[in-house]
Amino acid sequence: MKVMEYILGKLEKERLHMTLIDPDKQSASEAGKLADIAAELGTDAIMVGGSTGVTQKKMDDTIREIKKNTAVPVIIFPTSAAAISSYADAIYFMSLLNSKSPIFLVRQQMVGAPVIRKLGIEPISMGYIVVEPGMKVGEVGMAEPVPVNRTDIAVGYALAAEFFGMSLVYLEAGSGAPQPVPTDMVSAVKSEINIPLIVGGGIRSAETAKRIADAKADIIVTGTIIEESSDREKTLGRIIEAVKT
């Protein structure tokens, strides 16, 4: 089954949780163990990517280890066209809609598309919107982060993604953000679009995950919590439970 079909099929029954693993933050074998923990706790997919230091080799090694350890789909969350791994099941074929640079809007995509076709990875089209504070990804992606009080701008970008024919919209506060995307922005965007909404960045507790889920995000992404929290299994387990109930 294609990964997008798997996502849409699951969304008919419940909200989804995805775990982001940055291949630059730990060894490939450690990444494999983290993916195993997350899958056991009920995460629905593993996303692999990061804003800096991601090489082709790190992507390949990390994804191979993750695939050895888990059966959940592995989706590339791309840094650039230079690190696309053939071991993944799918890739978010994304445009950073509020980037000031055409490099992140369409140029990396022009370079990456033929590679994706050749490798036979499933591209999943996604409009990626960076919201304040935006963190590293906002900086690297030369974004003009959406101000937290400008829900109208987020809605505009999200609708543009849908009208472009994209399959998903991602509201991103940035990995490690002190605050996640505001819930009123999540609910305003969700009420306007007809494609699934992903929200990530700065979600580190079940309470926060529940607030974002209650604002009707379809898919909630956490990354840092599994890398850093000392009682990560307990925290991640509670986050996944909050997303699902």
Site of interaction with ligand 1GP (CB under 6 A): 20, 172, 175-177, 200-203, 221-225
State the minimum distance, in angstroms, from the CB of residue 49 to ligand 1GP. Answer: 8
Between 84 and 239, whose beta carbon lies closer to ligand 1GP?
Answer: 239
Residue nearest to ligand 1GP (CB): 200
Of the candidates 24, 30, 35, 25, which has an alpha carbon nearest to the alpha carbon of residue 57? Answer: 24
Which run of H or E residues covers position 210? helix 206-214
State the minimum distance, in angstroms, from the CB of residue 117 to ligand 1GP. Answer: 25
Between 1 and 218, whose beta carbon lies closer to ligand 1GP?
Answer: 218
Q: How far apart are CA 119 and CA 113, in angstroms?
A: 10
- The DSSP 8-state label assigned to residue 141 in this structure reads T
3-state DSSP assignment of residue 88? coil
Between 155 and 217, whose beta carbon lies closer to ligand 1GP?
Answer: 217
- The DSSP 8-state label assigned to residue 143 in this structure reads B
Residues 80, 70, 56: CA angle, nearest 5 degrees? 25
Between 91 and 203, whose beta carbon lies closer to ligand 1GP?
Answer: 203
Q: How many CA atoms within 13 Å lie on the side-chain side of 233? A: 7
Q: Please, are residues 161 and 169 in contact by the beta-carbon 8 Å criterion?
A: yes
Between 112 and 223, whose beta carbon lies closer to ligand 1GP?
Answer: 223
Which run of H or E residues covers position 191? helix 183-192
Between 72 and 203, whose beta carbon lies closer to ligand 1GP?
Answer: 203
Between 84 and 226, whose beta carbon lies closer to ligand 1GP?
Answer: 226
Give the DSSP letter string of 98-124.
TBSSHIIIIIHHHHHHHHHHHHTPEEE
Give 146-151 contacts, CB < 8 A, sequence gap 24+: 146/98, 146/185, 148/179, 148/181, 148/182, 148/185, 151/182, 151/184, 151/185, 151/188, 151/189
State the minimum distance, in angstroms, from the CB of residue 20 to ligand 1GP. Answer: 5
State the minimum distance, in angstroms, from the CB of residue 114 to ligand 1GP. Answer: 26
State the minimum distance, in angstroms, from the CB of residue 120 to ligand 1GP. Answer: 26
State the minimum distance, in angstroms, from the CB of residue 200 to ligand 1GP. Answer: 2
Spacing of C-alpha 228 from chain mean position: 18
State the minimum distance, in angstroms, from the CB of residue 150 to ligand 1GP. Answer: 20
